[in-house]
Chains A and B, each alone.
Chain A
Amino acid sequence: MDARDTFDLTTGRGLIACPRCDALHVEEELQPGETARCIRCGGVLAKPRGGAFIQLIALSFTTVVLMMGAIFFPFLEISRMGFGNATSLFGVAMAFADGVLLPLVLAVMAMIVGLPVLRSFLLVYTLVPLAQGRAPYRHAARAFRWSEELRPWSMAEIFVIGTAVALVKVAGLATVHLGPAFWAFCALILVNLASRGFMCQTTIWDAIEDAGLRTDGREMAQGRTP
């Protein structure tokens, strides 16, 4: 902590607290490719990547397009003794749709389809103005925070592993074929991984802040040496 003019211990200006262990750090601009780690717990604080915003926007659109295919194309096909059944994702959800289990249908559909699509839209809403160097939309901060909070609840990749288990369980009972929607889902996992690699929350928060949103008078604060 030697750059005395860049932070202020009374207002918190120019400081960052590690969300995992509360250690204080002085905020610094990082070059793309650099990584900032917490001095105490070693967690990554920031890891900006060049051109990340454009990549994230593109990957979000990819997610939505793939998800459309994943919903409406058949997912798995099954046949035994002349009886056949092909199911799309909607079929999977509708299987639970008899009365009591309706809430579970909604939850499952939300986790597999709804949340990944919603997160894509929130991310595009946040990042498009930032990537163009304009001021962010009015609710950008809220949109990005929701997108981050919903992250653990979007479970497309778990669903794919579930499919593998289901395939084996049903293999003795009937013949099963994988439909195009299954491969769309596998592609979604790769897109998701790529998106995670480009994502750096600290950089995006800084961009939202620096682009003029929520000025709060901290510019007026007097620097004080600790």
Chain B
Amino acid sequence: MSDQPVMTAHRAGLIGCRSCGRVWPEEQETCDRCGADLVPPDRRGLQKVWAWWLAGLVMYVPANLFPMMRTQTFAGLQGSTEATILEGMVELIHYGNYDIAVIVFVASVIVPLAKFLSIAWLAMVAGQPATVEQAHARLKIYEVVEFIGRWSMIDVFVVAILSALVQLGFVASIHPGPAAVSFALSVAFTMLSAQSFDPRLIWRGLPLRSRTGHEGQD
């Protein structure tokens, strides 16, 4: 990991397979080893990132406005309560389950929002001039986003388990609400958005020769 400029497949007029790492001449379109499509590391691929990102953001709105699940006690005689994501959390705090409230809060509010921000930022600065340190930091963020994205599904699974389990006829029953679907879709779309981002773009903006005093901007 020195500051020396590094020979990349792109600079050598070659193209590397993102799936298996095998290197091919630039004009080749599919990898002969693993069969994956070969994609050059340029900003055109960012369209896909933005499209999935927007779809995920759109689905995130109803996910927060509509109820996640409906709880019915004593066949509705004691009333049935509908809880959105935030209401469900308030309820957990109300009953003193602070640790679980924190897990739910992190998984369904912090992580999705942080993910939207990080992907948007990565896509905006991709390919722009950067220093080696900045590139390493961006790669780290990309890896965290990629790793953590799937964990937002927790909330969907919780609703699924509860509605299957709490079917006690007259006494109590839980049904899933429309927000469960839109939340699941939102998570899936942001995962696709993160997967469409090509981390090789992060490194495209590095100077060809290491010039001292030349700072990249972001």
Contacts and interface: CB of A to CB of B under 8 A. Distances in A.
Are A and B part of the same complex? yes
Interface of A: 1, 9-12, 15-24, 39-42, 45, 75-76, 78, 80-81, 83-85, 87, 91-96, 100-101, 103-104, 107-108, 111-112, 141-142, 144-145, 148-149, 152-153, 155, 158-159, 161-166, 168-170, 172-174, 176, 201-202, 205, 208-209, 214, 216, 226
Contacts, number: 229
B192 to A, nearest CB: 10
Interface string B1-43: 1100011111011111111111111000000111110000100
Given A17-B22, A94-B164, A174-B172, 13 more contacts: A22-B9, A23-B6, A24-B14, A76-B165, A85-B165, A104-B184, A145-B36, A158-B157, A161-B103, A165-B103, A165-B104, A169-B92, A173-B172
Interface stretch (B56-64, B196-204, B208-216): B196-204
A153 B18 CA distance: 18
A184 B187 CA distance: 26
Given A144-B34, A169-B162, A216-B32, A162 B157 contact: yes
Contacts of A101: 176, 180-181
Contact of B95 (A17, A40, A80, A172): A172
B25 A11 contact: yes
A16 B15 CA distance: 10
Given A21-B203, A142-B35, A158-B157, A42 B8 contact: no
Given A39-B1, A165-B104, A18 B162 contact: no
B32 A214 contact: yes
Contact of B6 (A40, A91, A208): A40
B84 to A, nearest CB: 15
A173 B69 CA distance: 15
Contacts of A16: 16, 21-23
Interface of B: 1-2, 6-10, 12-25, 32-36, 41, 88, 92, 95, 97, 100, 103-104, 135-136, 139, 146, 149-151, 153-158, 160-172, 176, 180-181, 184, 188, 191, 195, 199-200, 202-203
Contacts of B18: 19
Which interface residue of A15, A112, A201 has the most chain B CB atoms within 10 A?
A15
Contacts of A12: 9, 14-15, 22-25
A77 B103 CA distance: 23
A148 B34 CA distance: 11
Which interface residue of A1, A15, A40, A159 has the most chain B CB atoms within 10 A?
A40
B142 to A, nearest CB: 8
B195 A17 contact: no
Nearest to B156: A108
A20 B200 contact: yes
A162 B36 contact: no
Contact of A87 (B2, B12, B165): B165
Nearest to B194: A152
10 contacts: A23-B8, A40-B6, A80-B172, A95-B167, A111-B153, A141-B35, A162-B160, A163-B161, A165-B103, A174-B168
A161 B176 contact: no
